A = this chain, B = another copy of it.
């Protein structure tokens, strides 16, 4: 790798293989193709023939195949962009075929369980650097991708002392920076707790309130749709995401999500009690906190 991570006018890798060119994977390929700064050669692997055809038609890979082993054999970097639930199985096929010294990375939305699933297949002569680009849309598949998806978004890396060499960590950092992202390192456990509160719990609440509304009597339900503009709509926006991806996330970050939901439920019950007993001060205090967080976000230019 040597100076690849510093010289920013040459591609970072010779060959980059993306397994699962859906929303995330195809966005990496679009970026790689647009700027030419990620790799000289791009290989895409998908088990879905329709998706392989789409990737080929989009012209975002030099080779498109369904066979993992040959596609990873010549790669400097292999990026797993498949759903969290199949990371372990795909890694088990890919890793034995990788060349010594190559880098393995993934984009899974949860880290502890993905690392646990991949760890049994790891080899001492390859570096594995888990990552999670915090960007997405409510769409999926190769047609959903675009080159600027990661622009000004965070990509969290959760390097492991035993398997992530310093050089591999900086290469993966450079990769995401060249995709336009800001990078940050943390432990996998901390990552999963942070994502549980900023992303997984909000999605769980959004899915749930849509279900609650859907269970109401017919007349009320149709009015929910009519009058959704008043707050409910913001929930449905985040509730529109892919069911399989979210099922996988909920199952694979179970402990952190259940902990955050338990804290949240306690807080919601305390709010319910305050409403029942007309405890104005408590209610106003909780609302004020929401506004302060909102204000901090605006200062951070995130809202």
Contacts and interface: CB of A to CB of B under 8 A. Distances in A.
Given A204-B271, A207-B271, A280-B247, A214 B289 contact: yes
Interface residues of A, number: 93
A231 B202 contact: yes
A263 B283 CA distance: 21
Interface string A16-54: 000000000000000000000000000000000000000
A224 to B, nearest CB: 5
Nearest to A288: B243
Given A220-B193, A225-B293, A283 B250 contact: yes
A197 B214 contact: no
Shortest Cβ-Cβ A-B pairs, 9 listed:
A239-B290, A210-B290, A199-B230, A202-B231, A243-B287, A240-B294, A198-B232, A207-B290, A236-B294
A215 B237 CA distance: 26
Given A232-B197, A234-B234, A261 B251 contact: no
Interface string A193-209: 11101111111111111
A254 B232 contact: no
Given A224-B197, A268-B205, A275 B289 contact: no
A135 B265 CA distance: 29
A300 B226 CA distance: 8
A180 to B, nearest CB: 14
A229 interface: yes
Nearest to A134: B230
A154 B229 CA distance: 9
A259 to B, nearest CB: 11
A161 interface: no
Q: Chain A at the B interface: mostly helix, strand, loop or mixed?
A: helix
A231 B203 contact: yes
Given A204-B271, A236-B294, A271-B208, A134 B194 contact: no
A123 interface: no
Copies of this chain assembled into the complex: 2
Nearest to A154: B227
Contacts of A146: none
A227 B198 CA distance: 7
B272 A258 contact: yes
Interface string A267-303: 1110110011010100110111111111111001011
Q: Which of A153, A207, A276, A290 has the most CB of B within 10 A?
A: A290
Q: Which of A212, A231, A232, A264 has the most CB of B within 10 A?
A: A231
Nearest to A291: B240
A138 B295 CA distance: 12
Contacts of A234: 202, 234-235, 237-238
Contact of A289 (B210, B265, B284, B290): B210
A211 to B, nearest CB: 5
Given A246-B287, A288-B243, A202 B197 contact: no
